[in-house]
Amino acid sequence: MSTTDTRTLRVYRFKRGDGAEHFDEFEVPVGPRMSILDALRWIQLHRDPSLALRHSCLHASCGTCGVQVDGREELACVSAVRDHGETITVEPLANLPILTDLVVDVGEFFARFPEHPIIRASEADGYVRLEDCIECGLCLSACPVAATSRHYVGPAALVAAQRLLEEPRGADREDVLAWADRPEAAWGCHLGFECARACPAEAIPAERIMALRRELAR
Amino acid sequence: MSAAPGPVRHKGRGPAVSGWVAPRGRALGGRSFALHRITGIALVIYLYVHLGVLSMLLIGESAWGDFLSVVTAKGFLAFDVVLIFGLLFHALNGIRVALVGSGYLVRHQRALFWVATAIGTPLLVYAAIHVFGGA
């Protein structure tokens, strides 16, 4: 692929009070190492500065640039344009409210997590990530159960609960089990395994959810 | 004042339930999930249709005989093969789901799918031969 190649990006658009949802198409010149995020930023710089997207680290660590590319959840910063076809459709993550264009309300994603301390009291001013999971929300977008159940907490929250059981760090184990032992929590998973496919951190959420179920079944 | 929630996109087109079966971007697990739901719903519908059809026995022997002449036609027997496919898929994938859902062989769920397929395919072929051979 030479640097003069172009690809057509079909980008989902939504602005509050500015008409219905729709797709805009942009011809984007692409280079051999161009990522989907690079292409979207090129559109921002050269075609439409009103295009809204979220990104930060540019190396698949922060999990903020998650989008659907041709229907698959990917981190735009590490999704290569060359891995896709002539026309590439970019949409926001599914199953979360859209704020604007490609930006979803991640507040709803984090609101699904168990309401327990995930850090020790002595670390209350800091923030400790769960190992592996980068909390990008791709698994929730990919999950077919979440398509019809807004109350289903989703894979990432269940992974967080399972990690709490492995390493409670001050959390009440019984509370975590009670939180997980609900139809909209551990028992809501119907084993579509799309979370395992979508997870960019290879956390294999489905495996964690089954481990959580084993804990509940003891 | 907080803004009203924006639209929520789902995979698929139309109602949110299309997100179960939308094929775009799905992997093997998602496709088997979709087919499991489709076959499950179809089997429940079939159960009620079957019970309704059996009620024809209450009408009399001639009505039942007329019905049998329709459903034993070769063209109609294809539906039997589709039904057997649905039964086999739902049963064998159900075993896979039960195993994995109990925490066994979670990392091998794809291999389990192909094992179920390897078991189900010859059974379906045998059943189809039997269905059409007995026509």
Residues of chain A contacting residue B38, judged by C-beta atoms under 8 Å apart:
none
How does the average pLDDT of chain A come out, rounded? 88
Whether A168 is in a domain gets the answer: yes
Q: How many domains does chain A have?
A: 2
Work out the angle at residue B16's Cα, subtended by the Cα atoms of residues A200 and A93, and round it to the nearest 5 degrees. 25
Quick: pLDDT tens for B13-34. Answer: 778 888 888 888 889 999 999 9
- Domain match, A98 and A118 both: no
pLDDT at A119: 47
ipTM of this predicted complex? 0.80
Place of tokens 């789902």: B10
Domain with B104 in it: 27-131
Q: Based on the domain organization, do A95 and A196 belong to the same domain? A: no
| A174 and A208 belong to one structural domain | yes
Q: Domain tally for chain B?
A: 1
Nearest CA in chain B to A145: B20
Q: What CATH number did the domain enclosing B45 receive? A: 1.20.1300.10
The pLDDT of A181-200, averaged and rounded, is 94
Q: What is the 3-state secondary structure (H, E, C) of A111-154?
A: CCCCCCCCCCHHHCCCCCCCCCCCCCCHHHHHCCHHHCCCCCCC
Residues A134 and A171 in one domain: yes
**Residue A29 domain boundaries:** 6-104
Specify the pLDDT at position A122. 47
pLDDT tens, residue by residue, A166-188: 877 666 888 889 999 999 999 99
Least Cα distance to B26 among A124, A197, A99 occurs for A197
Q: Is residue A195 part of a domain?
A: yes
The pLDDT score that the predictor gives to residue A165 is 86
Categorize the per-residue pLDDT at A128 as very low, low, confident or very high, splitting at 50, 70 and 90. very low
- Most B CBs within 10 A among A10, A112, A187, A210, hence the mutation to make, goes to A210
| Residue keyed to tokens 């979508």 | A198
Same domain, A100 and A152: no
Q: Which of A178, A99, A112, A101 is nearest to A143 (CA)?
A: A112
- CA B118 to chain A, closest CA, distance in angstroms equals 20
Mean pLDDT of A91-101: 95
- Strand partners for A11: A24, A90
Look at A24 and A132; give whichever has higher pLDDT.
A24
The dihedrals phi and psi of A66, each to the nearest 5 degrees, come to -65, 130
Query: Is residue A21 in a domain?
Result: yes
CATH of the domain at A198: 1.10.1060.10
**Residue partners of B70: CB distance under 8 A and separation at least 6:** B76
Structure letter (DSSP) for residue B56: G
A211/B contact by beta carbon, under 8 A? yes
Size of chain A, expressed as the number of residues it contains? 218
- Sorting pLDDT into bands at 50, 70 and 90, what band is B134? low
Query: What digits encode the pLDDT tens for the residues B90-127?
Result: 999 999 999 999 888 998 999 999 999 999 999 999 99
Q: Over pLDDT 90: what percentage of chain A?
A: 65
Question: Considering the domain boundaries, does residue A1 fall inside one?
Answer: no
Q: What is the pTM of this model?
A: 0.85
Given a cut of 50, whether residue A66 has pLDDT beyond it is yes
Amino acid at A89: T
Whether residue A85 sits in one domain with residue A26:
yes
Higher-scoring residue by pLDDT: A46, B6: A46
Give yes or no for A51 touching B (CB within 8 A).
Answer: no
Last residue within a domain, chosen from A72, A104, A136: A104
How far apart (Å, rounded) are the C-alpha atoms in residues A93 and A210? 25
With contact defined as beta carbons under 8 Å apart, do A70 and A85 qualify? yes
